[in-house]
Amino acid sequence: MGRLIIISNRLPFSIDHEGDQLNLRQSSGGLVSAIKSYFESDSSTNRGFTEKLWLGVADFPQNEWSIVEEKLSGLDFQIVPLFVNKLLYKDYYNGFSNSVLWPLFHYFPNLVESNVHYFDAYVKVNRAFADKLIPLLEPDDTIWIHDYQLLLLPEMIRAEKADAAIGFFLHIPFPSYELFRTLPAEWKTSLVRGVLGSDLIGFHTHDYAQHFLQSAKMILGVDSSFHAMQYQDRLVKADLFPISIDYKKFNRACSDLETKQYYNEIIKNFDSRKIIFSVDRLDYTKGLMDRLNAYEHFLDQYPEWREKVVFILNIVPSRDDIQAYTERKQQIEQKIGTINGKVSTITWQPIIYRYTHLPFNELAALYKAADVALITPLRDGMNLVAKEYVASCSGRKGVLILSELAGAANELNEALLVNPIDTIEVSNAINRALTMPEEEQEHRMFLMQQRLSDYDVIKWVSDFLDQLANVKQEQLKQQVK
Ligand code: GDG
């Protein structure tokens, strides 16, 4: 067994400058937690990878690399930084990735900004990844590429390394062909061909995989049967691998001393009031405005809950240099002000709003303290927050209200599933959650917890890598025949 090379847009940490000091901060996204948990588990050593590498764009200048490298000495994987010109990066990341692919793949076609410079930059940065990687490759390497910023990379690698083992995983939805086809011909053809350079293509849900297969059929005429295709005389598979969480980590966190301190403070502060909680990046896909409308409606429709419930709404800053994001922040804050202004009393405020990134133990304490988690994205590839809340409720009650348009809804059927834009349905679900008998809460939670602890994130990684190895084996057999 050779090396495992993880490739994502960003490296799994960022750098904070504090005066002359450089501090490393681990990124908190789902992918980073997943891969780190896997690296720290026995599974990655048991598989026999001789080395693990992570390639991504550095958020620090090249001349700081030697200082950063020293600070990385304790890591059990090697970092391979890619340095990209800032202006080019902007057109690739803010531009094509987040102003074309992100809105389109989340069903917001009206927010797509078609701009040829964006696509050019996207091609160039994918090329830069390929140019950095290819000279480093050794024959037995396993390459695992992540997400929508790197859709062209598999084909670029394949063109020069015909036998490479390449896996690709898409963390966001793949949209229906009717939407995907609205992209200019050159873009959509390049994107589908790019991904098909992989041996195994992973999606969170069956629907996303089907959407991709249909696009491959309609755009390139590639037929598939049971998730398998013959593309340029090579077997390629597209299958579902719903990402999970480090179940034990969230379970354990609930009994950490620091979590307990945060938890006690929360409980003391809110007395006997019921707590509704949500945490999301600031993003139009998260349905924050619709969620606030529903909560406002709930307070009007069920006035008996006034002063007995509090909604702790945590928004994590994100992409605040893209206009579509900054405008929404203002609208959301205005709405929160309106609701609080309308129904607050001298001793009660219906919404506690924070715009910050929470320390992990505080997040765990909020999961633990929440009677209800209100997770209502308008679209979401998976949504790990929903799964983390369930894991944090182990052995106790709590109700998850979850959007039926999040990938997680496919697995968390015991949640109260709602249409996030249906104000009345969400408002009724809040009331139902707050009045649900304890026995029913525990029963629903138990079933979801079983599922998540059986298939945790370490299994997710292992499963993907096993399947990738299987595809390579099948390809060899086909060649022998
Ligand atoms: C993509 C897809 C898919 C959030 N706020 C804080 C914080 N977080 C952590 C959560 C969770 C993660 O960030 C966010 O989870 P998402 O599921 O939204 O994942 P993303 O990485 O944003 O997005 C998504 C995911 O990839 C995985 O495939 O589920 O659909 O868009 O882990 O805990 N962590 C801390 N403080 C916060 O304030 N410490």
User: Which of 8, 9, 28, when mutated, tests ligand 1's pocket best, judged by the most ligand atoms within 8 Å of its CB?
Assistant: 28
- Cα(407)–Cα(385) distance, rounded to whole angstroms? 12
Instruction: Please write the tens of the pLDDT for every residue from 152-201.
Output: 999 999 999 999 999 999 999 999 999 999 999 999 999 999 999 999 99
User: Which of 382, 392, 402, 461, when mutated, tests ligand 1's pocket best, judged by the most ligand atoms within 8 Å of its CB?
Assistant: 382
- Cα(382)–Cα(407) distance, rounded to whole angstroms? 4
357 lines ligand 1 (CB under 6 A): yes
Catalytic: 380?
yes
How large a percentage of the chain has pLDDT more than 70? 99
27 lines ligand 1 (CB under 6 A): no
Q: Are strands 142-146 and 165-169 parallel, antiparallel or unpaired?
A: parallel
Cα 410 to ligand 1 centroid, rounded to whole Å: 18
| Residue 227 Rama label (left phi>0; alpha psi -120 to 50; beta) | left
Give the ipTM of the model, two decimals please: 0.99
29 lines ligand 1 (CB under 6 A): yes
For ligand 1, atom 18, the nearest C-alpha belongs to 383
Instruction: Please write the tens of the pLDDT for every residue from 339-395.
Output: 999 999 999 999 999 999 999 999 999 999 999 999 999 999 999 999 999 999 777
Cα 2 to ligand 1 centroid, rounded to whole Å: 30
Cα 318 to ligand 1 centroid, rounded to whole Å: 11
Catalytic: 204?
no
Which residues have C-beta within 8 Å of that of residue 371, sequence separation ≥ 6?
A: 274, 275, 276, 397, 398, 399, 433, 434
Q: Considering 146, 171, 204, 211, which one is annotated as catalytic?
A: 171
Amino acid at position 204, single letter:
H
Is 54 in contact with 8 (CB distance < 8 Å)?
Answer: yes
Give the predicted TM-score (pTM) of the model. Answer: 0.96
| Residue 387 Rama label (left phi>0; alpha psi -120 to 50; beta) | alpha
Is 14 in contact with 25 (CB distance < 8 Å)?
Answer: yes
Instruction: Please write the tens of the pLDDT for every residue from 292-347.
Output: 999 999 999 999 999 999 999 999 987 777 777 777 899 999 999 999 999 999 99
391 lines ligand 1 (CB under 6 A): no
380 lines ligand 1 (CB under 6 A): yes
Is 212 in contact with 174 (CB distance < 8 Å)?
Answer: yes
Our separate counts of H helices and E strands in the chain read 19, 17
Q: Supply 411's token pair.
A: 């697995």
User: Which of 313, 355, 385, 460, when mutated, tests ligand 1's pocket best, judged by the most ligand atoms within 8 Å of its CB?
Assistant: 385
The larger pLDDT score, comparing residue 299 to residue 254, is at 299
The pLDDT value given to residue 362 = 96
Q: Considering 141, 283, 380, 456, which one is annotated as catalytic?
A: 380
Compute how many other C-beta atoms are within 10 angstroms of the C-beta atom of residue 390.
31
Furthest CA-CA distance within the chain:
79
Q: What is the DSSP letter of 198?
A: S
